[in-house]
Structure 1
Amino acid sequence: MTSHTTVTTPNPDQINDVAATNTAAANDAAAGDSATADADNVDNGIELSTIFEPYFRPDANTIVCGALDEQKVEALAKAGVELVINLQPDDELSFDEAAAVKRAGMYYEQLPVSGAADLKQLKVLAFDNILRQYHGKKVALHCGSGNRVGAVTALRAGWLRGRKMDTAMARGRSHGLSKLEDEVYNRLLVPR
């Protein structure tokens, strides 16, 4: 008895489709691994988005969040933050934040902004000065909710950086601007 084996030659288009699918899958896996590695590298493997609420990340070196406590200060330090800028006045703080930040090995700056009444050019100039002094450092900016950080950031973009209204407001929103949005918009209408 003779045995016959049928050999089927695949269509060249099928070979190319399979190769393309395998290459795309490998690229997707590598990109996913790379994105995960990049995120891990940015914050030393600390998942800040699960620790802070609210949490804004306008860029790799800027973190905007709400009020801090001892554990959150430690998380920022582990994530490689070099500077904490606090826009809350002392009467809003529940612990000695300056001491906790310094103990954790970070720089600390406090620029109290109580609300809309403090959104003045001198405060924005002081904010700009702090950011310039620590240029290139990984920074965590905070207030109670991120709203005041966003307001000061938008005013800085408009008044000091000469950004157009839409750009300045978008910059503020990326840093947490919400309830003070109308106030900031009206202040940006006035040339400085």
Structure 2
Amino acid sequence: MVNTTAEISQLDSLTYEQHIRGKFNNLENHRHRRQMERTLARNIAPPATQARLVKSSDVFEINTDVSYSEFLQKIRATGVDGILLVKQSAYWLTTNSYTSVHDEYVSTTTADTEPNATYHTYLIDLGSLEPVWYANSTVSGIFAGFDTLNNHLARSIFRKLRKDKYIFADY
């Protein structure tokens, strides 16, 4: 997962250097990325699908500089057919206020803040290094629990990959 506003049309060395290098395994987003990897693995590669997901954290050390050629070599060594690149393109908070009236003269106002984000997801073929599938997902959720952004995003990606026949599931 990377945070960038760039559109990814191919995974050439220029795209890697400008938008991916130092971002896909950086320390700053490590905790969020690990949670996203676990959520994607749980939703995209459960036992009922024919998908195999290799987490980037299992291949690349955190906060280590990786050249373009080393990046491709390490990914190809895993035996996967493609790269699922998740790019967060926007993030914002929504505040909802609720007013409760207790009796005639007493009221309470509660503010609840919820995170929202827009993600672009690319399935990049390792042979051509070009995206063969794109998805745009805008999700909202809560900061902790079942309805987090990660869970909403992972379920959305799974549904879209399944609909477009990139993942086959027995259910």
Place the TM-score, normalised by the shorter chain, in its bin.
Answer: under 0.3
Q: Which has the higher strand share?
A: 2
Larger relative contact order (C-alpha < 8 A, sep ≥ 6)? 2
Larger radius of gyration: 1
